[in-house]
C-alpha cells in the first residue's frame, strides 16, 4: 500500500511538470520605427509538451494589417513598410495540450505631422461678423501647433478645445484680411495648412495698410513707415504707438511716419488709423531697435595680496547675443591660469605679483563693440 501511494505521488509530480503551460519570450520587447521602415519580432518558446502551436495577434483583437507577415514556423512577425495603423501591442500566443501562454511586444510607429483646417476657405466675411477656423493635426510624436499670419513671425493667440487649435475673430475688420497658416511640427516632419480670410466692408469703408509689418532698426537710424488707406470719402490717417505716446522726435506727412535717430525706447508697435464716416481701419508695424553694447567692469579697480583670488565681471547693455573677450593691456595674453566665462567673468584662483596691471573687456554684438577696463593692484 505504501509503495502504491508513493507511485501516485511520483506520478502526480511528473504529471504536474508535464502539464505546465509553455513559457514564452519575445525579442525585442519594444521597438520604435518611422513610417516606411521595417521591424521583426522573434517569439521563443520553452515547453516539455509537444507540439506547440504559435499564433501572433494584436492585443485589441483586431486583424493584422496586410503588411504584417508571419514566418513559416510562426515564430517571427515582420512589419514591412510600417504604417501608422501598425502602431500598438502584439502578442505571441503559444498553445499546447498543457495550456496556453503569451508574451507581448509594443511597436511604436512615428510619422510626420499633418495639419487640416475646417473650414478650408477662402472665407469672405462681412465687417463686424465673427469667424473661427480650427486646425486639427495628426502625427506621432504629438506635434506642436502654432498659428501665424503669412508674412509675419508673430505667433497668434489660439484656443485648444478637444485637440483642435482654434483661431477666432469676434468681430472682423478689413485689416484682418490675409492668409493665416497653421503649422504642425514634430521630430519626424513638418506640415502647414493655410486659409485666406477676406473681410468685405460696406462701400466706401476705409482699409488701411502699411508698407512693412515687421522691421528691425539700428540705434541712431532714421526710420520711415508708410500708411496708405482706401475709402470714400478719403480717410483721415493718424499714427499712434501702442500703450505709449509717439516719440517726440517724429513727424507725420501724407500718411508717412518718420522717426528720427531711434533708440531702444522706440521699440514697439505703431498703429496707423484710417477713419471716415463709414468707420475706421487699422494697420500695424512692429519695430525692434537693436543697440550696440555698452560695457562696464565691476569692480573697475581692485587691490589684492599675492594668493588672493581675482574675480572681475564685465557687464554690457545692448542687443543680444553679446560676446565677451578679456585681455591685459600692454601684455596681450592673459596670465597663465586665468579663466574666462561666457557670462563675462575673468577668474584667477591665486594671483601673483606679476598679475597686476590693467585688464580690458571687449563686449561685441552684431552691431558693434564696446570696451571697459579694470585696474588690478597687487601688493604684498
171 inside domain: yes
228 inside domain: yes
1 inside domain: no
Q: Are residues 195 and 214 in the same domain?
A: no
Grid coordinates representing 108 are 511604436
- Confidence (pLDDT) at 162: 84
- SS3 at position 5: helix
17 inside domain: no
Strand 339-340 to 223-230 pairing: unpaired
Q: Read off the pLDDT of residues 275-290 as tens digits, 9 standing for 90 and up.
A: 999 888 899 999 999 9
For 238, the domain range is: 204-290
- Confidence (pLDDT) at 14: 42
- Confidence (pLDDT) at 233: 93
72 inside domain: yes
Report, as an integer, the average pLDDT of 209-218: 93
pTM recorded for the entire structure: 0.56
Residue 215 has pLDDT above 80, yes or no: yes
CATH number, domain of 325, equals 2.60.40.10
Q: Are residues 305 and 371 in the same domain?
A: yes
Q: Are residues 27 and 106 in the same domain?
A: yes
- Confidence (pLDDT) at 321: 94
Structural domains in the chain (count)? 4
Nearest to 320 by CA among 253, 264, 373, 361: 264
Distance spanning both ends of the chain, measured CA to CA = 106
- The domain boundary, picked from 200, 224, 243, lies at 200
Residue-level length of the chain = 380
pLDDT band at 331 (very low <50, low <70, confident <90, very high): confident
Q: Are 183 and 150 in contact (CB under 8 A)?
A: no
Strand 53-58 to 88-96 pairing: antiparallel
Q: Are residues 210 and 269 in the same domain?
A: yes
User: Is omega for the bond preceding 119 within 30 degrees of 0, making it cis?
Assistant: yes
- Confidence (pLDDT) at 266: 92
Q: Are residues 252 and 308 in the same domain?
A: no
- Confidence (pLDDT) at 119: 94
31: region left, alpha or beta (phi > 0 left; psi from -120 to 50 alpha): beta
- The domain boundary, picked from 267, 290, 313, lies at 290
To the nearest whole percent, how much of the chain has pLDDT over 90? 72
List, in sequence order, every residue forming a beta bridge with 41; answer none if it has no partner: 77
Q: Which residue has the cell 460696406?
A: 202
Q: Read off the pLDDT of residues 95-119 as tens digits, 9 standing for 90 and up.
A: 998 899 999 999 999 999 999 999 9
Residues 6+ apart with CB under 8 A from 195: 117, 119, 120, 121, 122, 123, 133, 179, 180
H-type alpha helices, the chain: 2-18
46 inside domain: yes
Residue 137 to residue 134: CA distance in whole angstroms: 10
Q: Read off the pLDDT of residues 341-356 as tens digits, 9 standing for 90 and up.
A: 999 999 999 999 999 9
Buried b (16+ CB within 10 A) or exposed e, 338-354: bebeeebebebeebeee
Report, as an integer, the average pLDDT of 13-39: 82
Q: Are residues 192 and 208 in the same domain?
A: no
Q: Read off the pLDDT of residues 73-91 as tens digits, 9 standing for 90 and up.
A: 899 999 999 999 999 999 9
Higher-scoring residue by pLDDT: 366, 248: 366
Lowest-confidence segment of 5-9, 65-69, 157-161, 229-233 by average pLDDT = 5-9
Residue 4 has pLDDT above 80, yes or no: no
Residue 188 to residue 207: CA distance in whole angstroms: 42
Q: Are residues 38 and 68 in the same domain?
A: yes
5 inside domain: no
Q: Are residues 333 and 362 in the same domain?
A: yes
User: Is omega for the bond preceding 167 within 30 degrees of 0, making it cis?
Assistant: no
Q: Are residues 363 and 341 in the same domain?
A: yes
- Confidence (pLDDT) at 19: 63
Q: Are residues 28 and 98 in the same domain?
A: yes
pLDDT band at 60 (very low <50, low <70, confident <90, very high): confident
pLDDT band at 306 (very low <50, low <70, confident <90, very high): very high
Q: Are residues 30 and 90 in the same domain?
A: yes
pLDDT band at 21 (very low <50, low <70, confident <90, very high): confident
Lowest-confidence segment of 48-52, 297-301, 322-326 by average pLDDT = 48-52
For CA atoms 319, 324, 327, 328, the dihedral sign is positive
Residue 328 to residue 316: CA distance in whole angstroms: 19
Q: Are 135 and 58 in contact (CB under 8 A)?
A: no
Higher-scoring residue by pLDDT: 41, 199: 41
3 inside domain: no
Residues 6+ apart with CB under 8 A from 185: 113, 143, 144, 191
Residues 6+ apart with CB under 8 A from 51: 96
Residue 294 to residue 316: CA distance in whole angstroms: 5
Q: Are 125 and 199 in contact (CB under 8 A)?
A: yes
pLDDT band at 7 (very low <50, low <70, confident <90, very high): very low
Q: Are residues 230 and 267 in the same domain?
A: yes
pLDDT band at 332 (very low <50, low <70, confident <90, very high): confident
Report, as an integer, the average pLDDT of 145-169: 87
CA angle 174, 177, 180 (to 5 degrees): 155
- The domain boundary, picked from 175, 200, 225, lies at 200
Mean confidence (pLDDT) of the chain: 89
- Confidence (pLDDT) at 12: 40
Residue 216 to residue 244: CA distance in whole angstroms: 19
Strand 144-149 to 68-70 pairing: unpaired
Grid coordinates representing 260 are 528720427
Amino acid at each position: 500500500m505504501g509503495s502504491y501511494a508513493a507511485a501516485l505521488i511520483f506520478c502526480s509530480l511528473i504529471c504536474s511538470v508535464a502539464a505546465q503551460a509553455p513559457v514564452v519570450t519575445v525579442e525585442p520587447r519594444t521597438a520604435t520605427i518611422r513610417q516606411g521602415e521595417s521591424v521583426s519580432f522573434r517569439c521563443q518558446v520553452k515547453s516539455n509538451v509537444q507540439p506547440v502551436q504559435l499564433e501572433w495577434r494584436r492585443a485589441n483583437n483586431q486583424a493584422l494589417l496586410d503588411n504584417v507577415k508571419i514566418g513559416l514556423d510562426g515564430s517571427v512577425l515582420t512589419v514591412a513598410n510600417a504604417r501608422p495603423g501598425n502602431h500598438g501591442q502584439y502578442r505571441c500566443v503559444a498553445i499546447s495540450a498543457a495550456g496556453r501562454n503569451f508574451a507581448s511586444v509594443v511597436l511604436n510607429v512615428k510619422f510626420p505631422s499633418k495639419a487640416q483646417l475646417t473650414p478650408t476657405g477662402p472665407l469672405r466675411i462681412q465687417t463686424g461678423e465673427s469667424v473661427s477656423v480650427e486646425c486639427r493635426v495628426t502625427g506621432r510624436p504629438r506635434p506642436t501647433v502654432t498659428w501665424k499670419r503669412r508674412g509675419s513671425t508673430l505667433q497668434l493667440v489660439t484656443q485648444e478645445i478637444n485637440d483642435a487649435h482654434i483661431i477666432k475673430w469676434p468681430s472682423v475688420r478689413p485689416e484682418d484680411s490675409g492668409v493665416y497658416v497653421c503649422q504642425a511640427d514634430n521630430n519626424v516632419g513638418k506640415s502647414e495648412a493655410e486659409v485666406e480670410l477676406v473681410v468685405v466692408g460696406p462701400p466706401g469703408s476705409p482699409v488701411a495698410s502699411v508698407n512693412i509689418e515687421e522691421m528691425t532698426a539700428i540705434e541712431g537710424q532714421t526710420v520711415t513707415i508708410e500708411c496708405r488707406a482706401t475709402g470714400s470719402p478719403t480717410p483721415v490717417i493718424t499714427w499712434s504707438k501702442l500703450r505709449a505716446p509717439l516719440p517726440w522726435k517724429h513727424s507725420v506727412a501724407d500718411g508717412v511716419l518718420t522717426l528720427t535717430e531711434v533708440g531702444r525706447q522706440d521699440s514697439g508697435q505703431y498703429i496707423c488709423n484710417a477713419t471716415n464716416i463709414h468707420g475706421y481701419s487699422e494697420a500695424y508695424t512692429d519695430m525692434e531697435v537693436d543697440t550696440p553694447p555698452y560695457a562696464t567692469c565691476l569692480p573697475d579697480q581692485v587691490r589684492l595680496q599675492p594668493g588672493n583670488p581675482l574675480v572681475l565681471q564685465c557687464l554690457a547693455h545692448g542687443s543680444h547675443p553679446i560676446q565677451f573677450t578679456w585681455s591685459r593691456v600692454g601684455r596681450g595674453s592673459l596670465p597663465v591660469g586665468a579663466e574666462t566665462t561666457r557670462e563675462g567673468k575673468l577668474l584667477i584662483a591665486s594671483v601673483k605679483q606679476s598679475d597686476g596691471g590693467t585688464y580690458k573687456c571687449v563686449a561685441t554684438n552684431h552691431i558693434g563693440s564696446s570696451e571697459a577696463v579694470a585696474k588690478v593692484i597687487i601688493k604684498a
